[in-house]
A and B are shown apart, each in its own frame.
Chain A
Amino acid sequence: MKKSFYILLGTALLSFWLQSCSPDDPPASEEGPTPLTLDIPGNWPKPNLLAENPITVEGVALGRKLFYDKMLSGNETQACADCHNQGAGFTDVQKKFSVGSNGDIGTRNAMPLFNLNWAKGYFWEGRQPTLESLIEEPMEAHNEMDLDIETAVIRLKAHAEYPELFQKAFPAQGVTTTTLRFAIAQFLRTIISGGNTKWDQYFAANRLNPEKLMTDQEARGYLAFISEEKGDCFHCHNPLSPLLNNSSDREFANNGLDAQPDSGRFKVTGNPNDLGQFKTPSLRNLSFTGPYMHDGRFETLDQVLEHYNSGFNYSATIDPFLIKHADKDNNFAPIPRLTQQDKDDIIAFLKLLDDETLLTNPKWSKP
């Protein structure tokens, strides 16, 4: 009896000792939404997340439902997804400008919604700093969804399902303008395209010479893309960046669309050097996301490349890497440098960046 007592006591004390100092003890579990880890390709930079809006299973599910719900437009005829269609890389299918719920036409081409965690500013001019802050703008715009966000909250509170879904996702807050924005932003943050394209495979296998893994035409296109004399695309679309865009000082640029440029980012910063500057988009999924540019003026990639070849216009804020291909003795008129073959080759390379799964992945489809 005594022996059993001592063994029991000793074991208990030893057990206390072994367990009392573990530094990795998880905190006592708390009831609440379930944290969700984003599925990010291994070699990508850290995403820019909003600490106040941790991503959860319940928040994403709610955001997805809201994204597809026409209730969030004034006359309940239009959802976010109507202008950001999964089948078109979350753009408006081949539309230059989207048509709002009232039939009004927008003034900017609907941007694709993927890899948004790596942007520093949203919309073509970068006028919103976070995903969470951008949600209400298209919702409230008269030529888009035309619904005041306060009214949206009233509708949601009166809905048969949403109050409970909000309660699950945001137990402390329920349905508010903030949680409405947070939920949709959480869903958008999960839309990540990359890691599975041919480009990603080649890049992972041979980062410095991915062209060695490509077909002859793709390889020619890639080499033209990174050539100063030919495409000269890489200054703004950095192939060493997983997104093939430029996230630092060239996130916005004037690519010479007009001699009298649109105000562009100047509207946001008030800096005259930003006149005509728009966001440099990712080059992923271009096969699905046309037409191109902030005003959707180009229907094909061939037209885009011809613009950079022979169609750009001088203005005081034009990017210096276009000036490099202009005749300084002739008012900076473009000096064409691409043949049709060069353009075809570059397009063949760009198609390596298409991610078909983006269009069909059920995680992002209508629930």
Chain B
Amino acid sequence: MKTTYFTSILLISAFFLLFACAEKEPAATPQPRGGEMKVHINHTINGNIAERDQFLYMTEAGDSFQVTLLQYYLSNFEFHSPETGWKKMNKYQLIRLNEAGTHDFTIKDLPFGAYDSVRFYVGLDSATNHDIDKEADLDPGNEMVWTWNTGYIFYMFEGKFINNSTMIVPFAYHIGLDAYLMKYELPIQSVKTLSTSTTQANLELQLEIDQIFRSPNLIELNNVAPVSHTFDEPALTTLLKDNLLDAFTVK
């Protein structure tokens, strides 16, 4: 009896030893229910791929200008399928013109469907905007946070222009605050389909940087403040914001 008892213990221990380190049996993999939307942003000025730090461009009003810095938040992506309506995705991305790696990002787990429209914000929704204890792209260390007001800079745009006295003058337009959140809804002409057989799709957005000075509000840089932080130049910021609402297209 005792021998049987100890033999049993031995066998059980040996069983554990033999199987403990085996590769785990793969759990039954659930069939994926969604795919990836890979987004790429093109930045253009005067119809050409944007280059920084060179006086290559003219505003619609005829001011020679260059871009020295552009960084902004894209967030709250939603995709529309005629079958299922709008699908809201939790995604925010800090885009920096001078860091090409930030121009590409992936929106994961987008449910299968045929998507014919996209919505997104330039900026951050109010809840996110007023909680700056965040990390990664929302880390205050990214210098996209205003310190006198708990909120982020949505769109930071800086450059130089040549004024009427032929002086090179820097400009800096920083757009933020909840009231200036920029909301976009754009048709996707070439429908993006995600399915079990096509789990990735590519969405190409284009930002026309010079649109900020173009229409519907023609901006003459000589006639406006060279620096705005939204709250100090609300009228100018409204003009810039309204122009930016026409700055994105889906290619």
Q: What chain B residues lie within 8 Å of A17 (beta carbons)?
A: 13, 16-17, 20
Q: Select which of B3, B53, B147 is within 8 A of A226 by beta carbon.
A: B147
Q: Which residues of A contact B168 (CB under 8 A)?
A: 316-317
Q: Cβ of A246 < 8 Å from any Cβ of B?
A: yes
> Contact residue range for chain B?
35 or more
Residues from chain A with a CB closer than 8 A to the CB of B232 are 228
A226–B69 Cα distance when bound, in Å, is 22
Task: Please give 15 more A-B residue pairs, beta carbons under 8 A apart, in addition to A3-B2, A6-B7.
Answer: A2-B3, A6-B6, A10-B10, A13-B16, A13-B17, A20-B17, A227-B148, A228-B148, A238-B147, A246-B143, A273-B53, A320-B170, A321-B172, A321-B227, A332-B167
Q: Could you give 6 example pairs across A and B, Cβ below 8 Å?
A: A3-B6, A16-B17, A20-B17, A238-B140, A272-B53, A320-B172
Residues in B whose Cβ lies below 8 Å from that of A234: 147
B2, B141, B160: the one within 8 Å of A241 (CB): B141
Interface check A204, CB cutoff 8 A: no
* Cβ contacts under 8 Å, B187 to chain A: none
Whether A324 contacts B10 in the complex (CB less than 8 A), given A226-B147, A240-B140, A241-B140, comes out as: no
B150 at the interface (CB under 8 A from A): yes
Does A323 lie within 8 Å of B169, measured CB to CB? yes
Interface residues of B in 134-174 (CB under 8 A from A): 139-143, 145, 147-148, 150, 158, 160, 163, 167-172
Judge whether A328 and B132 touch: CB under 8 Å. Answer: no
B1-26 interface bits toward A, Cβ cutoff 8 Å, 1 = contact, 0 = none: 01100110110011011001100000
Residues of A within 8 A of B69 (CB): 249
> What does DSSP make chain A's interface, helix, strand, loop or mixed?
loop
Q: Is there a chain A Cβ closer than 8 Å to B83's Cβ?
A: no
Query: In the assembled complex, how far is the CB of residue B81 from the closest CB belonging to chain A, in whole angstroms?
Result: 38
Residues of B contacting A307 in the complex (Cβ-Cβ under 8 angstroms): none
A250 and B143 form a contact (CB under 8 A): yes
* Alpha-carbon gap, A9 to B71, bound state (A): 66
Assuming the contacts A271-B53, A316-B160, A320-B171, asked whether A6 and B9 have C-beta atoms less than 8 A apart, the reply is: yes
Give the chain B neighbours of A7 by CB distance below 8 A.
6, 9
Decide if A13 touches B169 in the complex (CB within 8 Å): no
Q: A residues engaging B (CB < 8 A)? A: 2-3, 6-7, 9-10, 13-14, 16-17, 20-21, 45, 207-208, 226-228, 234, 238-241, 246-250, 271-273, 314, 316-321, 323-324, 328, 331-332
Q: How far is the CA of A6 from the CA of B20 in the complex (A)?
A: 21
Residue ranges of B at the interface with A (Cβ–Cβ < 8 Å): 2-3, 6-7, 9-10, 13-14, 16-17, 20-21, 53, 68-69, 71, 98, 132-133, 139-143, 145, 147-148, 150, 158, 160, 163, 167-172, 225-227, 229, 232
How far does the Cβ of B211 sit from chain A's closest Cβ, in whole Å? 21
- Picked from A45, A208, A320, the residue with its CB within 8 Å of the CB of B227 is A320
Contacting residue for A14 out of B6, B13, B225, B229, CB 8 A: B13
**Is the CB–CB distance between A323 and B147 below 8 Å?**
no
- Which among B3, B227, B229 has the greatest number of chain A C-beta atoms within 10 A? B227
Contact yes or no, B142 A248, CB < 8 A: yes
Smallest CB–CB gap between A46 and chain B, Å? 10
B228, chain A: closest CB distance, angstroms = 9
**Cβ–Cβ < 8 Å partners of A45 in chain B:** 139, 141
- How far apart are B154's CB and chain A's nearest CB, in angstroms? 16
Q: Separation in Å of the A184 CB from the closest CB of chain B?
A: 28
List, in ascending order, chain A residues with CB within 8 A of B140's CB: 238, 240-241
Contact (Cβ within 8 A) A6 B68: no
What distance in Å separates the Cβ of A186 from its nearest Cβ neighbour in chain B? 25
- A-B CB proximity, top 10 nearest: A6-B6, A316-B168, A13-B13, A320-B170, A320-B172, A324-B227, A240-B140, A17-B16, A10-B9, A17-B17
- Closest-CB distance, B147 to chain A (whole angstroms): 5
| C-alpha gap A226/B148 in the complex (Å) | 6
The residue in chain A whose Cβ has the minimal distance to the Cβ of B52 is A273
Q: Could you tell me the distance in whole angstroms from the C-beta of B237 to the nearest C-beta in chain A?
A: 14
Q: For residue B53, which residue of chain A has the nearest CB?
A: A273
Nearest chain B CB to A6's CB is how many angstroms away? 3
Q: Is the CB of A208 within 8 A of B150?
A: yes
In this complex, the member of B6, B139, B148 whose beta carbon has the largest number of chain A beta carbons within 10 angstroms is B6
- A9: chain B residues at CB < 8 Å are 10, 13
